Structure 1
Amino acid sequence: MQTHFSATALQDPGIREADRILRSCVHCGFCNATCPTYQLLGDERDGPRGRIYLIKALLEHADTDPRITAGTRLHLDRCLTCRNCETTCPSGVEYHRLLDIGRVAIEARVPRGLRERAFRYLLRRVMGSARAATVLFRVARGVRPLLPASLRDKVPPAPPDPGERPQPGRHPRRMLILEGCVQPGLSPNTNAAAARVLDRLGIDLQPAAAAGCCGALDYHLNAQRSGLDRARANIDAWWPEIEAGAEAIVQTASGCGAFVKEYGRLLADDPAYAEKAATVSRRARDLVEVLQKEPLERLELQGAESLAFHCPCTLQHAQGLGGAVETVLSRLGFRLTPVADAHLCCGSGGTNSITQPTLARRLRDRKMRALEAGNPERIVTANIGCQVHLASARRTPVRHWIEAVDSALQHQETS
């Protein structure tokens, strides 16, 4: 794609990066074939190719093009950042990086109204705090019958008791775990289950008390500076443990894992954090990356449940781990039912299920039909956002895949 940036504009690092990415696009349109919003809406501007053209016009003519309006911002807002287009693209266009640059530019050109800015700020502050999010969910469950139907679906039922975690110090191998921000209040059993399973494999899994939200929530709601500040705080929290021998930083939410793996790139120009950020990104592991290298046969598990696995976009497209969880579950004896169009997004998209509820609901219902086609006993996934969004349909039970493994192991012990 030809670009027309001035020499002055190219002095800006963001414009230089955008210029490089834009020039790699051959506007073939293959990306639209796998874009969930384009498939539903049929509008070129709601597909990757159209959004690339919108961002190009925005960056080249930010102050002069009358076509750049709040409508432009809406088309960028609707993007789920699922990165399916990047998996499909034959030219290797780094679309998600271009989208981040475009979202900064459109906010400057077409600022949001006070009400929308306040809502997005509160969303970041509440959902980015494990304590605040847990309190919010507890209160929301208490008043759920009084809420309008559009909000009622967003309030998940109370999570089950997570049970006890193994005490640290039992094994010579030690890994850290990112507790997350919304997951402790929505699915506290996920990390507890991960700790129990890894304990059986001879690995201690422990949190770093000062670590918090990974920063993705802020960053993708265009509070990029706040997102990077959270990344720095996590690096500070993890660094003493890394120096003390922790071999990996484990994430059970693939959305967090995808973002932590980008710390090195995002902080590459920060002299105080560049080297540490790169080390953290190299040591970041999705839980499945840990288990797939372990001798799972030692667990002697023959999973009895039939499961449908929903592979989150952040696992298959951002981290390139499509098929990894399915392989682990198959090794453990679970029967996996077929899922059509498994590459397509469920509609969660981080906070998109909140900011774009109608579109998210349509994508959720389509995904649920695909997941339920094989009549599984449960649906399992690898990201808390997908888990809650799919569960909001109130149909087949949805949980994290490691909980299914942990439950089968506990059942095996008592039977």
Structure 2
Amino acid sequence: MQTNLSEQAKRLPRAAEAESILRSCVHCGFCNATCPTYQLLGDELDGPRGRIYLIKQVLEGNEVTAKTQQHLDRCLTCRNCETTCPSGVQYHNLLDIGRAVVDAAVPRPLGERMLREGLRMMTPNPGVFKAMTQLGQVFKPVLPEALKNKLPREVRPAKPRPEMRHARQVLMLEGCVQPGLSPNTNAATARVLDRLGISVKPIAQAGCCGAVDYHLNAQEAGLQRARRNIDAWWPAVEAGAEAIVQTASGCGAFVKDYAHMLKDDREYAKKAERISALSKDLVEVLREEPLETLTGTAGKRLAFHCPCTLQHALKLGGEVEAVLSKLGFSLTQVPDSHLCCGSAGTYSITQPELSKQLRDNKMNALESGKPEVIVTANIGCQTHLDGAGRTPVRHWIELVEEALN
């Protein structure tokens, strides 16, 4: 795509990256065929190709309007388009650049600003979020339906974690919302890994991965969280930790991007590379282990929802299904499994109508094979889908741990 950045755009820190991405796009439109919002709305500007044109116009100095902002806001950043694209367009990086420029030019209404700031204050703080979740459960009967659907139907308390007793050690990002919404997920992970001879070393100083801030266009705040996590993990990394395990693929995708996002940071670039290299989704760890030693009874019929961050960002589509099948679970076929469920971080709150349509479509697909339970690999997807009040949705590792003898 021929591109002529404005003089102002040329001074942006990521100007060269934006121009390179724009030039890699060949206008083919294959991306629209798999874009969830384009499928729902049928508007070229609500598909990746249209949004790329909008960002191109902005960076070339054309007028920026609230409509431009709206079309960019409607993007889920599911990265389905990147999986489809034959030219390897790094769309999500261009979107980050474009959103920052547009938000600087178009002030948001007060209500939107308050909502986004509220999400940034509460979501990345595990203690505050857990307290708010517990308070919400107390008052759940009188809450509006929209808020009720954001609360888990059942909070399974965390079972005790095993003592650190193995020479092999990994770190684990505990996450922001998962300790409040699904506290047993990380505990189940620690118990399964213990059965395989791997201990989980807690790093209390590691906090939010930074994705919430970054994707709500507080990009520097997100990078600061990334730097704090690198500092928190670094002593254990130097001491020989094998991996940094992620049980939420949304966090995992963002930590994997630390290397790219901090590549120009003189102090953190090399460390970020190392952290990104060590970051592994849970399935990447388990698939390399002798799963035949995990004996149990896997009787439940499951449907697996593969989060966008797992299949399109981390490129691990099919891996959880392979592990579950190897452990004896019966998996149903899921039509259109490449499509987003509509959770997409805070998208279900900032774009509730589109998000609900995508959720209902996804639940119909997941339930088409009559599963007893739906399992997934990301807390956002889990909570969003379970909010439909239909077939229960849980993290896959909890079902594995429950099936073990």
Q: What TM-score do you get using the length of structure 2 for normalisation?
A: 0.98
The DSSP-based 3-state class of the residue aligned with 2:14 is: helix
CA pair 11-119 structure 1, distance change in 2 beyond 3 A? closer
Query: Separation in 2 of the partners of 1:17 and 1:399?
Result: 39
Query: Separation in 2 of the partners of 1:294 and 1:69?
Result: 52
The DSSP-based 3-state class of the residue aligned with 1:322 is: coil
Query: Separation in 1 of the partners of 2:328 and 2:314?
Result: 25
Are 1:33 and 2:30 an aligned pair? no
CA pair 6-70 structure 1, distance change in 2 beyond 3 A? closer
CA pair 296-2 structure 1, distance change in 2 beyond 3 A? same
> Paired residue for 2:222, among 213, 227, 234?
227
Q: CA deviation at 1:8?
A: 6.7
Q: CA deviation at 1:115?
A: 2.6
- In structure 1, stretches of 5+ residues that fail to align are none
Are 1:88 and 2:100 an aligned pair? no
> Paired residue for 1:287, among 282, 305, 312?
282
- In structure 2, stretches of 5+ residues that fail to align are none
Q: CA deviation at 1:9?
A: 4.0
Residue of structure 2 equivalent to 1:17: 17
Query: Separation in 1 of the partners of 2:160 and 2:151?
Result: 26
Residue of structure 2 equivalent to 1:120: 116
Query: Separation in 2 of the partners of 1:302 and 1:269?
Result: 50
Q: CA deviation at 1:119?
A: 1.6
| Amino acid aligned to 1:326 | E
Matches within 5 A, 1:204-223: 204-223=199-218
CA contact (8 A) 1:141 1:157 kept: no
Matches within 5 A, 1:238-249: 238-249=233-244
Q: CA deviation at 1:397?
A: 0.7
Query: Separation in 2 of the partners of 1:76 and 1:301?
Result: 47
CA pair 6-357 structure 1, distance change in 2 beyond 3 A? closer
Residue of structure 2 equivalent to 1:266: 261
The DSSP-based 3-state class of the residue aligned with 2:328 is: coil
| Amino acid aligned to 1:59 | L
Q: CA deviation at 1:109?
A: 1.0
Query: Separation in 2 of the partners of 1:303 and 1:380?
Result: 14
Q: CA deviation at 1:302?
A: 4.1
The DSSP-based 3-state class of the residue aligned with 2:102 is: helix
Query: Separation in 2 of the partners of 1:358 and 1:370?
Result: 19
Q: Which moved more, 1:49-58 or 1:9-18?
A: 9-18
Residue of structure 2 equivalent to 1:363: 358
Matches within 5 A, 1:6-405: 6=6, 9-62=9-62, 65=63, 68-168=64-164, 170-405=165-400
Q: Which moved more, 1:144-153 or 1:186-195?
A: 144-153
- Equivalences, count: 405
Cα deviations across residues 13-40 of structure 1 (Å, max 9, x unaligned)?
Answer: 3221111000100111100000000001
| Amino acid aligned to 2:40 | L
The DSSP-based 3-state class of the residue aligned with 2:166 is: coil
Query: Separation in 2 of the partners of 1:373 and 1:29?
Result: 30
CA contact (8 A) 1:174 1:203 kept: yes
Q: CA deviation at 1:266?
A: 0.7
Cα deviations across residues 134-184 of structure 1 (Å, max 9, x unaligned)?
Answer: 01111111122222222222222341122111011x111000000000000
Query: Separation in 1 of the partners of 2:114 and 2:221?
Result: 16
Percent same amino acid among aligned pairs?
Answer: 65
**Cα RMSD for the two superposed structures:** 1.1
Query: Separation in 2 of the partners of 1:36 and 1:301?
Result: 39
Task: Extract structure 1 runs of 4+ deviating beyond 6 A.
Answer: none
Query: Separation in 2 of the partners of 1:197 and 1:6?
Result: 54
Query: Separation in 2 of the partners of 1:356 and 1:10?
Result: 32
Query: Separation in 2 of the partners of 1:237 and 1:333?
Result: 38
CA contact (8 A) 1:86 1:95 kept: yes
Query: Separation in 2 of the partners of 1:144 and 1:71?
Result: 36
The DSSP-based 3-state class of the residue aligned with 1:13 is: coil
Q: CA deviation at 1:250?
A: 0.2
CA contact (8 A) 1:141 1:158 kept: no
Cα deviations across residues 378-407 of structure 1 (Å, max 9, x unaligned)?
Answer: 000000000000000011011000001001
| Amino acid aligned to 2:298 | G
Query: Separation in 2 of the partners of 1:211 and 1:8?
Result: 37
Q: CA deviation at 1:69?
A: 1.2
Query: Separation in 1 of the partners of 2:9 and 2:72?
Result: 22
Q: What TM-score do you get using the length of structure 1 for normalisation?
A: 0.96
Query: Separation in 1 of the partners of 2:22 and 2:312?
Result: 20
CA contact (8 A) 2:9 2:61 kept: no
